[in-house]
Structure 1
């Protein structure tokens, strides 16, 4: 018997998934939750093989819930339910530790296949989703970069300064390029380091390139 936990905030979708799963004789839903917070709050008491979670939920979303759950139980097998426009979260969920990604539009046969493959230690990702990710790779990455910039509240001037720093310009060259004083450049660099957690020029450059905020 494959024991399944279902995390989904919409009653109609949750009931629909339960109905589909109930038709498979060796599948059993042992717990269900309406958001990620309920799920992680009960994690210590859960004995299950597979967790199926929605991504977009109130209180605590599926991405953050996955991160917390995997941190507590590294061997937990989590499958995310996704809409086409959730494909930008693919990278975040993989990094968080999800083992599968199934479109909500998928058939019961595909959901069953995903559960069985993930349960045996494999990964499963909807072919339609992978195609969508590949086709929109550049747009997805750009969206993630823009979201990261917004999260850090980088201004256009700070983004421009960061790009020039990554090109190896000295403070004097930065000042001449941006028509500012070297003192202002030093002050702006200090603000950037505080926002990004960088300790010096080198770590600031590494952070910017690693997070694809700038491309050299």
Structure 2
């Protein structure tokens, strides 16, 4: 049985190289090629394939966003992400998005073939070098993701400090004393934090802060 593969890659040289490599495997066939994530999702409903191989960093629509859309609309779709060494911070996002494999662009054709076969069987595959880089850089990756999250929400240092104290269980009066502010100001600042994070109450705010590693407790 021939495995039908869709390739999503914006760089001509890499796209052509992968096409040549896959064509050398007798039971593999590339049935569709797209130059960015938007082209891919635009044709999502009509695709008949076993595996999707997608780059991460692409114009118009990146691989992470395309993977999220694809797995939401077609949960059965099996997606393998192509990565560079410096893409390790996207590992968490891609796993959350629903990717089943992560292969370095520097990998051999044997490793790419192994990844495709395992993912097609319902398993997962992640390049050993990638996993090593993720483990080694775990703290830096988490710090980067937290920084991006706080910048996206425009959390100030004062708001993060307030979150830290809220997570320690301090009452509004205790928060006011600790931060040298009035209780009314504390209530106003907490309301602003809840609007930014989408939390409805203190408990939800604490859960959000811990889940997103915005504070250390």
What is the TM-score with the length of structure 2 in the denominator? 0.98
What residue is the counterpart of 1:75 in the other structure? 76
Question: Cα offset for 1:191?
Answer: 0.5
Question: Cα offset for 1:78?
Answer: 0.2
Distance 1:146 1:112 in 2: 36
What residue is the counterpart of 1:132 in the other structure? 133
What is the DSSP-based 3-state SS (H/G/I as helix, E as strand, rest coil) of the residue aligned with 1:81? strand
1:106 matches 2:104: no
Distance 1:125 1:173 in 2: 48
Question: Cα offset for 1:184?
Answer: 1.1
What residue is the counterpart of 2:184 in the other structure? 183
Distance 2:152 2:57 in 1: 18
What residue is the counterpart of 1:24 in the other structure? 25
What residue is the counterpart of 1:8 in the other structure? 9
Aligned residue runs from structure 1 range 93-172, under 5 A: 93-172=94-173
1:63 matches 2:64: yes
Question: Cα offset for 1:215?
Answer: 2.0
1:214 matches 2:215: yes
What is the DSSP-based 3-state SS (H/G/I as helix, E as strand, rest coil) of the residue aligned with 1:212? coil
What is the DSSP-based 3-state SS (H/G/I as helix, E as strand, rest coil) of the residue aligned with 2:122? coil
What is the DSSP-based 3-state SS (H/G/I as helix, E as strand, rest coil) of the residue aligned with 1:121? coil
1:7-62 Cα deviation digits (max 9, x unpaired): 01111111111111111111111001111111011001100000000001111111
Matched residue count? 216
Deviating runs (4+, > 6 A) in structure 1?
A: none
CA RMSD of aligned residues (A): 0.8
Distance 2:204 2:214 in 1: 14
Distance 1:202 1:118 in 2: 39
Distance 2:171 2:121 in 1: 55
Distance 2:70 2:99 in 1: 10
Distance 2:186 2:60 in 1: 41
What is the TM-score with the length of structure 1 in the denominator? 0.98
